[in-house]
Structure 1
């Protein structure tokens, strides 16, 4: 809803278009935007484009709606700095700009997955009424709590506000981001919207996608929002000792302590077998002594715990062990500046003769490769959920821009080449979501062990396909927005952030080409012996 129905401080004053036209000089300058009247007299010399633009014969005293929406986002009208300039509304005219109500689903075609289409006209075998209620609640939560904090933290580069994290813990969102399982028993999920026994991977997918919808334009914040918990705590839940779980899991899930996954090094990323960080046992066998470094560790700068992959013998996958290392003597972190904001807490981590109790071993000694590789499935799937959501936001941004922006007197969408790019973007988003939902259904009907055995290849290929589609969509969106897509702020700010940060999706959790190779190697393993054309 636009401010056409009210003026700050009282009842709206009504004007005719003829009355507004009389205010067209530097001493009294009015314009019309979407049936609202704005007095720009005092703002004239503060306008970023200069006063001449506002004093031109096509703007001063005229309806400037088309010009305004070609250059600015509609949300600018709600900004208190500008909404206070409104002095009235047009007599017997109403706002024509349609915007989704705050925290509601978008009515723009393909801005939402098919199961959330306007009017529920599309059917799905995967989602129940419970899923729909859960999605509405998560959308509202993201709009009310996450989006404002995301914008603020992207600006100052600090980690998410503790109040937000505590609210997530209160609703058990942190727990649910780790998927179905025993860790949910006895908990009240999303104010009781779903029972722990009914919670499935589609509920979790909804959480990841709703959080990610506030990500385009605030991508650093999305990764800051306890991504470390999602990928760092899972190995403890699945392979940690009962003692380790009792000590660590509650304080992390309640937002009192922070955790991250520290596997990647400057020497090895997707090649887990090439890691050099070492852990050797003390003479009395009670401690691991850890030395080495980790790099590009999301959430590392503010982590209290590090789930670390270490070599515990000669270079070999059979001498790879995972340890939980607290922030203690010998552990140092320093921030790494990346292409997105520092709020993600990306860190370079150094371990210098760090003493770690052997009880902090996650899984069996020497079997850490299985622990990490099993964890990759859920990590990559959660990233795949996020990729699908941001593709939707990019489609929505482009559809809005191409219908409201005019070139040579015609909407940009009237150009066949633009419609062709939009068709490709929509097809990518739809095909990807369909594959994602199919694999999510398989996850719902497989044990954790079965997922590790059967889905490593398919999930790897899914993520590869998604990041390829997303980068193609980002290129097409950039061409549509032009220079606005490389401008930090303004009407193209979301596409600018999307274009700049989408390559991260092709690297995090395993590089695109490595995942492609993994997927095909899994296929080769399953080829029937002796198969011929």
Structure 2
């Protein structure tokens, strides 16, 4: 006999009144409930809470009732299985009839019936792919492996007959196809290829499965931008960071640097310095995830930055130095001799670069830098005097890519020198900042420092442009970092809000709390889509990162990323409460980020300066397109 104490019943109708067996079962259950309600002698003063407490852990049905319902359910499942089997048999018979009709029609037209070729599966159905070869001459079939299953895509190329000869070499043996039909066939195949590629991308989930915790493509949302190479890099880099860096990052941040053996391991992993071309790379270090560097594109940069930005503080700078921003001017503007001299040693830490632009008098106003470089009368060296401030990675750098004034005022007097950090007259000391302690930000003094003229990058007096186009990649990397860090805030706060109980219910059950997450998601996801669009534009540009026309959009993406990270960090701390203010514990990354935040917003150019830059640049581009007031 069931010991369930009734707290009242609703007026709902039976779910399947047409089923006689189910109706009888319902009537029997209702009769049993009424008897139990009378037997329970529940007093009129019993509260709903007391009733619910009495019901805890008590089964609502006794064993006889459960057995009866099981028999009804089993009969229903048997009936459904029989209907499904009959339907599949009818469908298979229909397909055979359709195939026979098509073969007969082809024979009537004097054409050979297609061979019984291998089939490909979509879901649980099988279709013949022999039809792909009919009317689609000049196409070959390739397989795309997806989650352990093979799907088929098609790619335009000369089809080869079983004898090894290309189709079309003997026109008499092949049916003629009009130009219109051939073009239509190619369009259908191109559409099918894109569709199958998108399906392939959407079959595998990755990383944290909580809402918005990963970029959309990692959660199976179809995207045209990513391929197997991108997924390989993402997967292997995520595994490396999770094992070797993330568990220790806050400890290293507190100490002010990562262990040097870990920095060497990171340099030799191949994940960093991916933009160094083959002739100038260490031959002992493969490309990231074993991918040849000449196969890398801008989306590999996007993925690498996103994955490493999961690490808070200045730890990634300590691991790789500031070479990520210090070596691009060498790569793009250095001579062959300079590249061979400085770049191969990056993988062994024989060389490491920082970028020296910002000065005590200002940073974003590059055209007005004060550090001077006077060429000697014999044209053998420059004498450099001045200061550089907040120079990230200076403690571990062997060279500083430095903006100096070799001429008169304004941008036309700016040049770029590579200055050895062990030069006589050069000294530095670390600056105690609020956050990114492991980034090694330093004040560098240059007092009568002699620099060989061979260390000039590019042409004297044209350094301003070298610096500005270098900002494209730096600001884009920072924009991606802001997006990931905002996503980290959302993820930590979302998981906390689902677990944290307040006033008898999860914190996220409060509408005002839930709305914070949907708002953050709108900003983070739309910003990521913008970053993907910029990556595609840079990838398609012949100038790549050096394209000055991309500067405005990249600058605004960096501004927007900083704003989003600020908002996400604030809202996460509001949700976490004290846990978001405490060093250590579940909110530790959010707390660390609150101290790192200013660097992400101001570094690479303050939002006020680069917003103005973007407006001026986009106005110039509009005028070039023919826009007039």
Give 1:341 deviation, angstroms. 4.3
Contact 2:262 2:319 in 1 (8 A): no
Q: Distance in 2 between matches of 1:415 and 1:182?
A: 59
Q: Distance in 2 between matches of 1:287 and 1:175?
A: 29
Q: Distance in 2 between matches of 1:491 and 1:247?
A: 46
Give 1:204 deviation, angstroms. 1.6
Which is greater in Rg?
Answer: 2
Structure 2 counterparts to residues 243-392 of structure 1, below 5 A: 243-327=337-421, 328-392=423-487
In the alignment, which of 91, 99, 106 is matched to residue 208 of structure 2?
Answer: 106
Q: Distance in 1 between matches of 2:438 and 2:279?
A: 31
Q: Distance in 1 between matches of 2:392 and 2:286?
A: 29
Q: Which residue of 2 aligns with 1:161?
A: 259
**TM-aligned CA distance change 1:180 to 1:108, over 3 Å:** farther
Contact 2:384 2:449 in 1 (8 A): yes
Contact 2:436 2:595 in 1 (8 A): no
Q: Which residue of 2 aligns with 1:211?
A: 308
Q: Distance in 2 between matches of 1:424 and 1:181?
A: 44
Give 1:531 deviation, angstroms. 4.7
**TM-aligned CA distance change 1:202 to 1:133, over 3 Å:** same
Give 1:447 deviation, angstroms. 2.7
Contact 2:373 2:385 in 1 (8 A): yes
Q: Distance in 2 between matches of 1:182 and 1:420?
A: 52
Q: Which runs of 4+ in 1 moved over 4 A?
A: 179-187, 529-533
Q: Which residue of 2 aligns with 1:137?
A: 236
Q: Which residue of 2 aligns with 1:52?
A: none
Q: Which residue of 2 aligns with 1:82?
A: none
Contact 1:179 1:200 in 2 (8 A): no
Q: Which runs of 5+ in 1 are unaligned?
A: 1-103
Contact 1:323 1:361 in 2 (8 A): yes
2:330 pairs with 1:236 = yes
Contact 1:403 1:412 in 2 (8 A): yes
Q: Distance in 1 between matches of 2:440 and 2:538?
A: 30
**TM-aligned CA distance change 1:326 to 1:499, over 3 Å:** same
In the alignment, which of 518, 522, 541 is matched to residue 446 of structure 1?
Answer: 541
Q: Which residue of 2 aligns with 1:506?
A: 601
Give the total of aligned pairs: 421
Contact 2:431 2:442 in 1 (8 A): yes
Contact 2:281 2:344 in 1 (8 A): no
Contact 2:388 2:443 in 1 (8 A): yes
Q: Distance in 1 between matches of 2:243 and 2:384?
A: 43
**TM-aligned CA distance change 1:475 to 1:458, over 3 Å:** same
Contact 2:552 2:613 in 1 (8 A): yes
Give 1:227 deviation, angstroms. 5.0
Deviations 1:18-48 (A, max 9, x none): xxxxxxxxxxxxxxxxxxxxxxxxxxxxxxx
Deviations 1:159-213 (A, max 9, x none): 322222222332322221x377875697622352x23232111112111111111
Greater RCO, 1 or 2 (C-alpha within 8 Å, sep 6+): 1
Q: Distance in 2 between matches of 1:513 and 1:182?
A: 40
Give 1:481 deviation, angstroms. 1.6
Q: Which residue of 1 aligns with 2:218?
A: 116
Q: Which residue of 1 aligns with 2:128?
A: none
Deviations 1:307-359 (A, max 9, x none): 11001122221111100000211110000011114321110000000000000
Contact 1:184 1:196 in 2 (8 A): no
Q: Which residue of 2 aligns with 1:188?
A: 286
Q: Distance in 2 between matches of 1:382 and 1:181?
A: 22
Q: Distance in 2 between matches of 1:400 and 1:489?
A: 17
Deviations 1:437-489 (A, max 9, x none): 11111111113367422200110111111111111111211211223222222
Scaled by the length of structure 2, the TM-score of the pair is: 0.64
In the alignment, which of 284, 298, 305 is matched to residue 201 of structure 1?
Answer: 298
Scaled by the length of structure 1, the TM-score of the pair is: 0.75
Q: Which residue of 1 aligns with 2:167?
A: none
Contact 2:321 2:352 in 1 (8 A): no
**TM-aligned CA distance change 1:449 to 1:416, over 3 Å:** closer
**TM-aligned CA distance change 1:227 to 1:380, over 3 Å:** farther
Deviations 1:400-449 (A, max 9, x none): 01001111121110111111111111111101110001111111111336
Q: Distance in 2 between matches of 1:289 and 1:500?
A: 38
Deviations 1:92-147 (A, max 9, x none): xxxxxxxxxxxx71121211001111xx2x10100012211211100001111122
**TM-aligned CA distance change 1:259 to 1:156, over 3 Å:** same
Q: Distance in 1 between matches of 2:267 and 2:587?
A: 34
**TM-aligned CA distance change 1:507 to 1:341, over 3 Å:** closer
Give 1:225 deviation, angstroms. 3.2
Q: Which runs of 5+ in 2 are unaligned?
A: 1-205
Q: Distance in 2 between matches of 1:248 and 1:521?
A: 36
2:574 pairs with 1:479 = yes
RMSD between aligned residues:
2.0
Q: Distance in 1 between matches of 2:435 and 2:391?
A: 14
**Paired residue secondary structure (1:490):** coil
Contact 1:311 1:320 in 2 (8 A): yes
**TM-aligned CA distance change 1:449 to 1:154, over 3 Å:** closer
Contact 1:268 1:275 in 2 (8 A): yes
